Amino acid sequence: MDILAAGGNAVDAAIAVAASLGVVEPYAAGIGGGGFWLIYNASENKYRFIDARETAPKAAHRDYYLKDGKPDRDRSINGPSAAAIPGQPAAFAYLSQRYGLLSLPQVLAPAIEQARTGFEVDARYQKLANFRLHHMRRYPVTAEIFLDDNQVPAVGHRIVQPELATTLELLAKQGKAGFYQGALANTLVEAVQANGGDWTLEDLANYQVVEREPIVFEYDEHTIISAPPPSSGGIALAQMLGMLDAYQQQTGTDWRQLDKVAQAHLLAEVMRRAYRDRAEFLGDPDFYQVPVDKLLSEQRAADYAASIDANKASVSLDMQGPANLHEGRHTTHLSVLDKYGNRVSATLSINLPFGSAFTVAGVVLNNEMDDFSLAPGVPNSYGLVGAEANAIAAGKRPLSSMTPTMIESCDQVAVLGAPGGSRIITQVLLGTLAHLQNEPVEQWVSQPRFHHQYLPDRIQIEPDTFNSSEINRLNTIGHEVRSVGRQYGNMQAILWDIQQGKVTAASDPRGVGAAEVLSVPQLNIR
C-alpha cells in the first residue's frame, strides 16, 4: 500500500511484496528461487506472462542425480547440488524496468529495511524450521541466521539478515548485473562449488527471464487467463473445465446442480485425467514440444468426459500413463490490483521449506532441481515416476504447478492463485468454480479442499472437507479418500465488480497474510 501511495503501479507493488515475502518467509520464497508472474497492463489492454522459473546449470544432465542407477535424494534436495539458477532477482529487475513506474531502489527499500531490522518468529516459522531442522544444522551459515543456538527459535525471537540486506542493495543499485555478474556472482559460485554444487559464472550470466503467451480460454461466458508451460497449471485448468463442459453437453448434467458427493466424484474424475496428461506431456517448451493444441482440443475433452461414469470411480492405472511428479509444497502467492486497473498474480517458490537449506550472501538457495524427473522411468523415494518431457537438461526449467490466474467476464475481474505444490492447480480450480457460482471472495479462499492427482489413486482431503457419511458414499463408488491430516494452501484473491464499482479481496485464513482495499479502479478493462 505504501508503494501504491507513492505513485507506484501494481507491478511496483508486487515486486515490493515479493521482495518482502522473501525476507519474512525464508521458508517459502526469496531471491534464491523463482516464480511466475501473470500481468495485465491496462494501458495496452494486454496480458503478459513472465517466466522467472529457475534453470538447471550447464553441468546438469539426464542422469545427474543417479547413483548406482537410483536417484540420490539427498543430493537433489539438500545443499547447493539441489539448487537451480535463481530467477527471482532477474524478474525484479526486468519487471521494474519494463512495467514499473518507480525505480528498483524505491520498490526494494522496504525489504532491505526488513532484512536489516529483522522480523519476529511465529508458529508457522517454527513448524517449517522444525521440518528442515536436521538439514539446516548441516550448513553453519544457515543455522547461524535462522536458528537460535542450533535450535528452532522461540516465538518472538528476531531473525536479522544483514547479508541479505546488502545483497538486495546491490540488486537495487546495479539491477540484474548486481546479482548475476561481478563480486556477488563470484561469491555465489565459489560457495556452491565448495559445497558440492556445479554452478559456474557462465550459468549465472546466461540466465534470462522469458516472456511467454499465457494460456487463454473461454468457459461459461468467462475468459480465463493462466500460466503456460513450463507451468502445467493453465493447461490442466483448461482441461478440467473443458471436461466439465463436455460432460454437461453429453449427459445434460451441470456440475452446479449435483449434490456434494456427486460433484466431488465428477471433479475428482476430471482432476484425475488432467493430471494424467500433466505427467506425460508437460515440460519446458524450450526443450520439449508440448502438444498444447492436442491437450486443449474439444475432442480430447469430449473423449475424457465420455469415459467418466457417474456411479463409479475410474482406475488410474487403467489409463496407461506415467506416474505423477513429486513437487515441493512450500511456495507463496500474491495478488495486486491498482487504481488504473493494472493487476498482478504472482506465485513464487524455493521449493521445500528453506529450499536447499544452504545460504550464501544471505540468500537461501532453492532446491528446485528436485522438480525435474530425476530418472525417467525410475521411481523416486515417493514411488513416483517421471516422464521424459521433464527430464533434466542443462539450461532447462523444471515443470511446475504454479498457477497464477485471472478471470474476466463482461462486468467482473478476478485475480487469484495459491501455493501448495501439486495441489495448487486443484485449489485454483475450486476457487474458480466458487467464483463461477457467484460465491464471495472470502469463500474462494476458505472453502474446504480436496484433490486428486491421478497417482496415487486417491482423493486427498483436508480433515473437515467431508463427513463420514459423505466419505462412505465416495468409498462405495470406488474412491479411496484419505485425509492429508492438515489444511493446505494459502490462496490470495481479488474480485473487481466493475458494474457495481466495488473491489473485495481475501487472504486465506490458513495463512498469516492479509487483504486490504483502499479504492476502486477508475478504468474499465474494456
Cβ atoms of 423 and 489 closer than 8 Å: yes
Collapsing DSSP to helix, strand or coil, 357 comes out as coil
Cis peptide, bond prior to residue 228, ω within 30 of zero = no
CA-to-CA distance for 479 and 276, rounded, in angstroms?
17
CA-to-CA distance for 371 and 390, rounded, in angstroms?
8
CA-to-CA distance for 71 and 154, rounded, in angstroms?
36
How is residue 81 annotated by DSSP?
G
Collapsing DSSP to helix, strand or coil, 106 comes out as helix
End-to-end alpha carbon distance in the chain: 26
Distances (CA, A) of 398 to 53, 55, 191, 296: 8, 7, 23, 21
CA-to-CA distance for 28 and 194, rounded, in angstroms?
25
Collapsing DSSP to helix, strand or coil, 368 comes out as helix
Binding site for L-glutamate, by residue number, is 53, 349-351, 371, 400-401, 421
How is residue 397 annotated by DSSP?
P
Binding site, by residue number, is 53, 349-351, 371, 400-401, 421
The catalytic position among 331, 405, 426, 465 is 331
CA-to-CA distance for 65 and 71, rounded, in angstroms?
5
List the grid coordinates of 336. 495486486
Q: From the centroid of its chain, how far is CA 315? A: 28
CA dihedral sign, ordered 156, 157, 160, 164: negative
403 in active site: no
Query: Which strands form 215-219's sheet, in the order they lie side by side?
Result: 215-219, 222-226, 405-408, 412-416, 492-497, 502-507
List the grid coordinates of 191. 560457495
Collapsing DSSP to helix, strand or coil, 203 comes out as helix
Task: Please report the beta strands in 305-362, taking only residues with DSSP state E, as ranges in sequence order.
Answer: 331-337, 343-349, 359-360
The H or E element that residue 258 is part of is: none
CA-to-CA distance for 9 and 102, rounded, in angstroms?
8
How is residue 25 annotated by DSSP?
-
Nearest to 346 by CA among 23, 48, 5, 44: 48
CA-to-CA distance for 13 and 7, rounded, in angstroms?
10
Cis peptide, bond prior to residue 229, ω within 30 of zero = no
CA-to-CA distance for 119 and 21, rounded, in angstroms?
11
Strands 459-461 and 481-483: parallel
CA dihedral sign, ordered 260, 220, 339, 49: positive
Report, as residue numbers or ranges, the catalytic residues: 331
